[in-house]
């Protein structure tokens, strides 16, 4: 069996988890799910980095001892991940005694190999980075990460002979182009090595300055430098080099943000080489999440609370937006308005509408049972070929950490299925009594929807399982049993007679916080206006013939871009043609099989050459026109009043 192991950064717990932490961990979760979907044994390690100067300073600031402080903050991370749909991980803590023992064993091994020496050093120390910088590494005398003046510290410390391994590392990166990805960060790592600014690495802190850390095994007057400690978590989480899990899963992959490229691309490979351990397979580096095009910061007040976003818009929709919006490796700007637009366009209009329409038609034409797939036409086989192509592209791109591109490839198939509904017009086939062709069209649609739900399990695990259950497939978020190699090359129908859900509303349209506020204001204004309106006699209302009907066909007016031509079934009253100015708010295909309310005893009128026999009732919501519909399905022709 193939195995997959990936790690997130071991998060520094001097503050609460934020969007960057959440994104990294969601990516690890999604990649593990992708490999499990392909039949591999997979898990990931995340955790908390709990030693160092910044922890002591943060604990002192709130009046707590370091251990109590890290216990509290680490718990916030551990609690958040399940709330974001994240599973199948191990949570490691650098204050764990088992981790400390492995760190000391490996430090001793490096020391015994002659790769650690004692020396006096005077250098520029950044408390934010918790490391020394050489003159060449500073930018205009400032720390390149924090843009602050480092402190000039002179003290005796232990040093790792990192410079001994830098020529080898440079050659390794040059000859392994996929070792660090995307390419821009491979080039950046090579630039560090070629600049000549890197030297040996200080790996200790004297206890006269810092006691909160792991003791050096060869000198208890010093504690281990936080990076030498934290990086070893990727191994200690597997039980150390002698552990069974290490033999089973190492080497794995690492996932980091761009601000910690240097420790993972330079320090860590050199450490592994000195320890005589195999290097990791890939270092996957992503950019920053920005807010209002600026890096998120408490002082700027632009921090995004991932839990609040997941609660407001749903975990799966939130996850989808993050994967779809960020092109891995580049920075991305988080916007609640953009997220709402993406959710409504991709999930509500495209995928949600597909499930809603098809399951409603399956209820009407197939008694909510999967029909038998007959002989496929040329149009069917084109769609089947597109499905195979889209799925293979999705899997390949997603595995190569091109998440946005992979989802776009899958959405080509989602959009194609919606177009297939329109071109094949099951409602027309039903009217013509072409039952065999109708069954095949419905079977093709249902099979395609199942493929989409399977592919989306890594990104939207709960929604994926819900979609599969609506198709009669009972699964849970822990596992979706299938063989993706088979799925990409075979297009099987659902088992004939399999029970389907009567309807679907998996992805409702969403409103942003600003939209909700505007809506509340508009409601207040409308209520105020309503109080001023004059009343009418009940007889005037009863004179109106208002009925419920189902839209059987919708198309754009050939001579008016803003008008849709609707053919609405009113039961015993027959089908009526009604024209409505809905083109700016609805696509024609969105309206088919939707129940609406209409005024029928309105004098017919001709609009641009076509006659309208009634008026569909609408309401205005936040500057948009929305159709009035009954809460539940009712008989066509049912009266309102």
3-state secondary structure 233-280: HHHHCCCCCCCHHHHHHCCCEEEEEHHHHHHHHHHHHHHHHHHCCCCC
C-alpha to C-alpha distance for 121 and 380, rounded to whole angstroms? 73
Query: Is-above-0.85 flag for pTM?
Result: no
Biggest alpha carbon distance in the chain? 100
Model confidence pLDDT, tens digit, residues 322-356: 999 999 999 999 999 999 999 999 999 999 999 99
C-alpha to C-alpha distance for 345 and 567, rounded to whole angstroms? 26
Rg (CA), the chain: 31
> What pLDDT score was predicted for residue 625?
85
By annotation, the residues acting in catalysis are 18, 21, 126, 129, 143, 146, 295, 298
Count of alpha carbons within 13 angstroms of residue 466, beta-carbon side: 14
Q: How many CB atoms lie within 10 A of CB 183?
A: 11
Token pair in block for residue 359: 């399951």
Strand 151-160 and strand 605-607: the pairing is unpaired
> What pLDDT score was predicted for residue 299?
61
> What pLDDT score was predicted for residue 513?
73
C-alpha to C-alpha distance for 563 and 308, rounded to whole angstroms? 40
> What pLDDT score was predicted for residue 420?
97
3-state helix, strand, coil in the chain (%, to 5): 45, 20, 35
CA–CA distances in Å: residue 288 to residues 22, 44, 404, 405 = 12, 22, 15, 18
Count of alpha carbons within 13 angstroms of residue 588, beta-carbon side: 20
Count of alpha carbons within 13 angstroms of residue 232, beta-carbon side: 29
Whether residue 29 contacts residue 68, with contact meaning beta carbons closer than 8 Å, is answered with no
Helix, strand, or coil (residue 57): helix
Could you tell me the domains of the chain? 3-286 (3.40.50.620), 316-489 (1.10.730.10), 536-627 (2.40.50.140)
Residue stretches of the chain with pLDDT short of 70: 130, 297-300, 524, 526-534, 622-623
Report which of 266, 267, 233 is spatially closest to residue 252, judged by C-alpha positions.
Answer: 233
> What pLDDT score was predicted for residue 534?
60
Q: Which residue has the tokens 């005694």?
A: 97
C-alpha to C-alpha distance for 158 and 224, rounded to whole angstroms? 9
Report which of 242, 304, 248 is spatially closest to residue 109, judged by C-alpha positions.
Answer: 242
> What pLDDT score was predicted for residue 609?
83
> What pLDDT score was predicted for residue 530?
63
Which residues contact residue 39 at a Cβ distance below 8 angstroms, ignoring those fewer than 6 apart?
A: 1, 2, 483, 484
Which residues contact residue 405 at a Cβ distance below 8 angstroms, ignoring those fewer than 6 apart?
A: 327, 397
């Amino acid at each position: 069996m193939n195995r997959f192991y990936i790690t997130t950064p071991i998060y520094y717990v001097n503050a609460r988890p934020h969007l960057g932490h959440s994104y990294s961990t969601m990516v690890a979760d999604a990649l593990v799910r992708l490999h499990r979907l392909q039949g591999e044994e997979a898990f990931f390690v995340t955790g908390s980095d709990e030693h160092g100067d910044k922890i002591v300073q943060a604990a002192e600031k709130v009046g707590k001892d370091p251990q109590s402080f890290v216990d509290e903050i680490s718990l916030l991370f551990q609690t958040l991940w399940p709330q974001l749909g994240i599973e199948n991980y191990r949570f490691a803590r650098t204050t764990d005694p088992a981790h400390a023992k492995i760190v000391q064993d490996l430090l001793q091994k490096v020391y015994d190999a002659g790769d650690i020496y004692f020396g006096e050093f005077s250098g520029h120390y950044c408390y934010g980075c918790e490391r020394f910088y050489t003159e060449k590494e500073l930018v205009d005398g400032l720390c390149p990460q924090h843009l602050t003046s480092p402190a000039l510290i002179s003290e005796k410390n232990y040093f790792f002979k990192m410079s001994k391994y830098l020529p080898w590392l440079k050659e390794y990166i040059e000859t392994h182009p996929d070792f660090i990805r995307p390419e821009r960060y491979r080039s950046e790592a090579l630039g560090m090595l070629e600049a000549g600014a890197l030297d040996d690495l200080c790996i200790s802190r004297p206890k006269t300055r810092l006691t909160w850390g792991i003791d050096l095994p060869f000198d208890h007057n010093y504690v281990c430098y936080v990076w030498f400690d934290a990086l070893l978590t990727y191994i200690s989480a597997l039980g150390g080099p002698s552990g069974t899990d290490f033999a089973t899963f190492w080497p794995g992959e690492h996932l980091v943000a761009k601000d910690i490229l240097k420790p993972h691309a330079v320090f860590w490979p050199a450490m592994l080489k000195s320890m005589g351990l195999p290097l990791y397979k890939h270092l996957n580096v992503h950019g920053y999440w920005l807010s209002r095009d600026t890096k998120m910061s408490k002082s700027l007040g632009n921090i995004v609370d991932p839990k609040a976003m997941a609660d407001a818009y749903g975990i799966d929709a939130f996850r989808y937006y993050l994967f779809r919006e960020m092109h891995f490796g580049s920075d991305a700007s988080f916007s609640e308005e953009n997220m709402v637009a993406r959710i409504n366009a991709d999930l509500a209009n495209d995928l949600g509408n597909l499930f809603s329409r098809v399951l409603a038609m399956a209820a009407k034409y197939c008694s909510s049972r999967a029909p038998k797939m007959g002989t496929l036409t040329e149009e069917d086989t084109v769609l089947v070929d597109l499905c195979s192509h889209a799925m293979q592209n999705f899997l390949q791109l997603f595995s190569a950490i091109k998440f946005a591109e992979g989802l776009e490839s899958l959405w080509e198939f989602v959009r194609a299925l919606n177009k297939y509904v329109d071109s094949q017009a099951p409602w027309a086939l039903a009217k013509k009594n072409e039952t065999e062709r109708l069954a095949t069209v419905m079977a093709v649609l249902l099979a395609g929807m199942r493929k989409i739900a399977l592919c989306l399990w890594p990104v939207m695990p709960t929604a994926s399982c819900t979609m599969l259950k609506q198709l009669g497939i009972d699964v849970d978020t822990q596992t979706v049993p299938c063989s993706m190699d088979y799925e990409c090359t075979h297009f099987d129908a659902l088992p004939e007679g399999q029970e389907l859900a009567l309807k679907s509303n998996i992805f409702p349209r969403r409103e942003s916080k600003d939209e909700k506020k505007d809506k509340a204001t508009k409601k207040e204004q409308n209520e105020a206006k309503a109080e001023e309106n004059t009343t009418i006699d009940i007889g005037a209302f009863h004179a109106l013939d208002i009925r419920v009907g189902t839209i059987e066909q919708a198309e754009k007016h050939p001579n008016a871009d803003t008008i849709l031509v609707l053919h609405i079934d009113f039961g015993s009253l027959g089908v009526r043609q009604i024209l409505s100015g809905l083109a700016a708010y609805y696509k024609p295909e969105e309206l088919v099989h939707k129940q609406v309310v209409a005024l029928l005893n309105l004098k017919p009128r001709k609009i641009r050459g076509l006659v309208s026999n009634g008026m569909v009732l609408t309401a205005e919501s936040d500057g948009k026109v929305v159709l009035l519909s009954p809460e539940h399905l009712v008989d066509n022709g049912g009266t309102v009043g």
